[in-house]
Structure formats: C-alpha cells, structure tokens
Structure 1
C-alpha cells in the first residue's frame, strides 16, 4: 500500500515546526516531504540584532537536512516555481515535478520592495531586516553610516503588516548609537502607515500606544503616522501624510544617511494568480480548519495566509501573523491531518492569539493579545529590562527546539510566563 505524501512548502518559523509536528501526528500513516529555498533555517526575530552586529548570522541559523533525516522527513532545497493544484503537483525550481496528496503552504511572504520607487536593499536606498542576508547588508551600511553620522529614518510603509520589528530596530539603533557615543549627531524619525503609534496592525494591544509613544519621546525620536511613502531617492525619502478623508494632509521630504523601512508583503510567485487558491495579493485563502475552500487537500499557515484587516484606516495597514498564531495554526493542521488519515472530518481550529517581545537592547515592550483581533479576553502590555532577557531566552530556546526537531508548542507557555512572572525561566 502506497502511503499518502504530505508536502510542506517552506521551512521557516512555521514550515519547519509544521514538518516536525505533522510527522509526529501522522507517524507511519503518511510520508512528509519538505520543499524549501535553501537548506538553512534562520531565526527571523533575531535579524535586528544581526543588523547592528549584536549577533552573527551563523549564531541564528540551523542546517535542516540532517535534522529532517533523523525525523524521517524527506527534504528538497531547490525551491518551488509553481503550485499546480489541478494536478496535485508542485513544480520545482530545477524543472522537476513533485506529486503530493496533501500540500501545506508555509512559504512566508514575498517582499514587495518594487511597489515603491527606490525602496529596498536591492537597487534601492533603504535597508531591511526581513531576511538575515538583508540584515548583514544593513550592518555594513550602518557601520559606514557611523563614520559620517546624520539623520536616520526607520519604519514601515503602506500595506505593511509587520510593525513590531520596525519599532524594535529604531530603538535598538538608539541604544547602539548611544553606546558608540554618537547619538547626539543623529536626528531620528519613525515613519509608519499606522493611524497611531502602537497600532501594530491590531488596533493596539493594552497600552502599546502610550508605551511606544513614551519610548519614542524619551529617546528623542520624532514620528509621522498615516504615512504613505511616495518614493525614495538617495538620502531623501518623500512621504505623504494622509488625512482621514484620504487627502494629503502634509508632505514631508525626510533626509537620511541610513534608513530601514519594512515593505508590504504579498504572496510568493509560486502561488500568485492561482484561481481559487489565493486572493488578489497572492495570500492563501483558508477556512477555519486551515484548508483552502477550493482545494481542500491544500492547507496553509503563517504569513502567507489571507487575513482581513482589523478595520479601515487612512493608509492600508495589514494584520501581523505572529509566532503564537503560527504555532497554533501548525498544531491545528497536524491534528486535522491525523483525523483526515483516520477517515474523519477535520475538527481542529487555530486560536489566533498574539505575543510579541520587542527588544530595545536596554529594555523593551511585550504584549499579549488573546485573541489577536479585538474584542479580546486578554489585552495586556508592559515594558522593562526583563523583556530583553526574555527575548534572549526565547531565541536560545527556539533555536534549540529546531536543532532537536521538537514539535511541542511553546508560545502558550511563554505567554503564561510573561503574564505570571514577567520572565522566561532560564533566561
């Protein structure tokens, strides 16, 4: 009897853990095969540290093939060029085809730098911390900047859905500049599409508005909200501040010697334009059991799934897909596969909660939102030096978890630790 093949497309924070947890759930009843672009996992939340050389790249990376092999999971590292759900086939980047019985899409996003002239590290004038390679490039640019310091602009553009790392990096830069004793030579501006500081794509969590505004004020960082970046020239960012009625309230030409701007996301090329699978931005359409309504043998998790925004804003603002939410999606999918292979209908649903540790080097802000979209049962935020220690402990734990090929959920324990004792044990 030929066992069904479950293909997991993507091996990032969601895909790698999904492969471990799905394999544990289905055991010998199905084969699990991971397809990824490259053979290395890297811990994305540590990228801002790499960009100021608080971490080296090899410290936050894990080579995956030996780990998958120990777990009985097949692996292909050439990447995919197209999903063909009509034939249950994944076209690989090397021209080969991989048939699947079930597909789990966990690709993460494509970074839409090209939607704004002059944005991004590839042919543009701004840096990024979305990928570890971008963070390394940013570190080189920052070192060069520090030899001749000037203004800095940091933030997130229109359509962005990941705001925490923007705040984190702005405040990490402030800390590093003070350590280098050149903070007094660097005017800083935070530019964001959010309607207010601390919105985070979630309409705020607890008092994130007050906490983050206070941090920015104390560190002499100005801000522009409801911001639409029109274009970026070398050393000059053109920003339109949008009013409630959609008109341009003000225009800002912001000079910079160094800039890091998070881009909008869209679905990857391998899925974009597949009718019935994705929305117009290329994000995967899913039901409450993580299945695509048109192709129920396809499931999806993480940043690549389609989630409606929390409400209308003057400038488009996306909803973040945080680690807590992603881990919950993984667990639901794994349990649903077990039911499906047992001949039952899937019953498990993800609990879309959010937890964030934004480290500033000498402090930080944490929040817990359960559920992620208001109204909430838990709506909590706090700040302090303990957040830095918590994130260091979290990085160590999660990288160890990947190296060991473990599938046990962690974010719920992290949330309980934070809400209960404001620390992670062992941090």
Structure 2
C-alpha cells in the first residue's frame, strides 16, 4: 500500500474539496461535453436521449431559466377548464436523478462559438464540445402597433406558457355577459399554427358554459387562411353560433393601432373593443440563437441532422429552427430532438447514425369530446425536411371518432411529457 505523507494528504483533501465546490459541468474533464439550452419539448428530450443512449459516456448539462416547465401545448385546455395548471407543469427531477443530467437554472446570455463556451447571466461560463439550442421563440413586440412587453401585463399573449397563461385565464374568467374578447393572431411562421383557433374555441366554450351567448370572440388575423380552417369554422357555427367572428386581412384591412388601456384595436374596417385583448405578435428564434439565424429570424439547419448550417458544433431544434415542411410544434420539437441527439452521439462517441425520419401530429379541441388533428411524416429531400405522407380530420366525421381523437390526444400528452421529462 502506498502511504501518503501528511502534506500529500492535505493537498489531496484540498483538491477534493475544491472539486466538490465546483459546478459539475466544470468538473467532468474526462468526457465529451454537451450543453443543451432550453428545457422544453426539444431541449429536455435531447438532453435525456443524449445522456441515456450514451450510457454515461457524455456529460450533459441542461440550461433552463425556470425550475419547472409549463407546456404551451395543452395550455388551451387549461384555459377552457378541461385541465388544471398543475397538470401542464413539469419537473426536471427525473432527468437529474435517473439520467445524470446537470440542470443549471439560469439564463444563458451568450455563446462564444470560437471558444465553445456558453456564458450565463451570473458570469459563469460552461464549456461544450457540442451545443444543442432549443430556445423556443421570442416575441416581436412592435409587430403589432401599440403593443409592448409592458402591455402584455394588460393584454396577455400567453404564447410563452407560465404566468402569462394564468393571467389570460384569470382575465377570461372575469369577462361578463355582453363583453367581447378580441384576439390578434400572429403572422406566419409562428409557434403552433392551429393554436390561436383552438384558443378561440376554448374561450367561446367558457363563455357559452356561463350562458354568456351575447359575448363574442373576435379574431383579427393578418393571414388570409389558417390551419384547420375547414374544421374550426364549421365547429364554431355548430357549437357557438354567432359567438366567434374571424376577420382576414381582406376584410379588416390591417391593424393601425392597439390601445390596451382602452381595450381597443383599430383597423381600417372598424375599431374593435374587448374587455379582454389577447395579442399574439410575430415571432423569431429565441435571442440566444440570433447569431445562427438568417433574415427570417429563424435558424437554417441541415435537414438530415438538425445541425446548424452556420456552425457544425451546434444543433438547432424546435421552434427556433427552419424545419422545412414541419410546423413549429411540441411534437415536431420532440421528433427533431431525437435526430439531433443521435447525431450528437455519432459525433462524440462514433455510435451508429441512422437516416432521419421525422413526424408530427397537432390535435385541437373544438368543444367537449370534439377533437380534430392534422399531421405528417417527413424525410430529408433535396436539402429540406419534406412531408412524405399526411393526414387531417374530415368535416363529416361522426361523434364517436371525434371523441376518440380527443382521447388520443390525452394519451399523447401523457406519453410525450413522460418522454421529455423521464
């Protein structure tokens, strides 16, 4: 047995204590390092699959500014009273305890691509060999004249789930009979294409359930058509006659200004007044990805890997990416994360990489037990993620099928959140 001198023992003890005091993402020197920024459907999934499938061979750090994550998908069902807030809010505990992922709660403020480090708001720096960016969206406040980040405290967007979701719910519940809700829908491209129209359905559901049939949900849309339009509009006529009004740009002529204090939206057609204004502005990739975005505000990627076209050490997944035919959705982000995770492992451990195949389904609830869906399978073709097969609910489906579709969505939510958070 080798004996340590007292000086050697003291030195070793001090070194060990220093190691314990250091964050784990600075201690693991013997493994390749992956940093994942963003803990949603893309980031949480990527972190889990990289850690799990590398069998501990990769040191994974997940950076997310919140202790828990509230999903945007299914937040409309909370708004409509079909779920409680706790059911759409999830913990990272299992990712840490079961998969050995280091969770850093804080804001990532910069990426030094030359040094391969991520700078945190507190000044600490996290090194990486590969970086996965899944920062979601930032809102372009001035895309709606008169709207701002401060105005969102009065006229919530609730397009980034959490406190805004709860605020929108509280304001909806405070609407009285005869008062209107006025929504400004976002321009393309944006997170969850059917989302604003499912939200309008849930708002109408809440008002109708109270007997407030003199109230309206008015949608001012910058687009001349929208996702599942052939399903939503007949649904509104069936369940909420006279309660949901949709105005495209050829009718309203454009938004001139929003006055959140007065509760008004001025258009070329008319000035609409609402006891609740729900303003959803235009969007871009989360700010941490700015250096990897093109003029669209989103990040181009290699269709076969989700690797940034601007930096081979970085992958961009979810809403921040330009993913060809795939919509910006939780399902899409989860699917893309698995392709990125596979390729990250291939980069760092020489594990086998298989051809990319992606999928997406978006479910929407129009009224109790009346669910509809749209989706597709995708493959890389000619440098783009391309739809190869697709499906959509039909207007003439019977009630049993619509109920089954809704129940399918409940099962999917349970499944995807278990897949994301372990």
Specify the TM-score bucket, using the shorter chain as the normaliser. 0.7 to 0.9
Unmatched 5+ stretches in structure 2: 1-28, 380-384
Counterpart Cα distance in 2 of 1:361 and 1:13: 26
Q: Superposed, which structure 2 residues align to 1:242-253 within 5 Å? A: 251-253=269-271
- 1:9/1:119 CA distance change after superposition, 3 Å: same
Superposed CA RMSD in Å reads 2.6
Kindly tell me: are residues 49 and 380 of structure 1, through their superposed partners in 2, closer, same or farther at Cα, counting changes over 3 Å? closer
Tell me the equivalent position of 1:290: 306
Q: Give yes or no for the alignment of 1:152 onto 2:152.
A: no
Q: Is the 8 A contact 1:68 1:75 kept in 2?
A: yes
Larger radius of gyration: 2
1:243-268 alpha-carbon deviations (Å, 9 max, x no partner): xxxxxxxx332222223232221122
Using the alignment, how far apart are the partners of 1:300 and 1:80 within structure 2? Answer: 15
Return the offset for 1:350. 4.4
**Count of matched residue positions in the alignment of Structure 1 and Structure 2:** 370
Please name the residue that 2:319 is paired with: 303
Q: Counterparts of 1:326 and 1:278 in 2: how far apart (Å)?
A: 17
Report the TM-score, using the length of structure 1 for normalisation. 0.78
Residues 128-162 of structure 1: CA deviation (Å, up to 9, x unaligned) = 2321211100122112223x641222351234523
* Aligned partner of 2:57 among 29, 33, 40: 29
356-365 or 15-24, larger mean C-alpha shift = 356-365
1:118 and 1:17 mapped to 2: Cα distance?
A: 37
For residue 141 of structure 1, the aligned residue among 146, 171, 180 is 171
Q: 1:269-348 alignment to 2 at 5 Å?
A: 269-272=287-290, 274=291, 277-288=292-303, 289-307=305-323, 320-343=327-350, 348=355
Counterparts of 1:341-420 in structure 2, within 5 Å, are: 341-343=348-350, 348-351=355-358, 353-362=359-368, 363-371=370-378, 376-382=388-394, 384-403=402-421, 405=422
* 1:349-380 deviations in Å (ceiling 9; x for gaps): 342x4311101341232112334988752232
| 1:222 and 2:245 matched | yes
Deviation, structure 1 residue 326: 1.9
**Structure-2 change in CA distance of 1:287 and 1:345 (3 Å):** farther
| Cα displacement (A) at 1:121 | 7.0
1:128 equivalenced with 2:157 (yes/no): yes
Higher mean displacement: 113-122 or 257-266: 113-122
Distance 1:159-1:321 versus aligned 2 partners, 3 A rule: closer
Secondary structure of the residue aligned to 1:142 is helix
Counterpart-to-counterpart distance in 2, 1:182 and 1:107: 39
Cα gap change, 1:122 to 1:137, in 2 (>3 Å): farther
Separation (CA, whole Å) in 2 of partners of 1:320 and 1:122: 29
Check whether the contact 1:5–1:31 (CA below 8 A) recurs between aligned residues.
yes
Task: Mark the CA change 1:400 to 1:326 in structure 2 (over 3 Å): closer, same or farther.
Answer: closer
Gapped runs of 5+ residues in structure 1?
201-207, 241-250, 311-318, 406-427
Match of 2:282?
264
The SS at the match of 1:22 is: helix
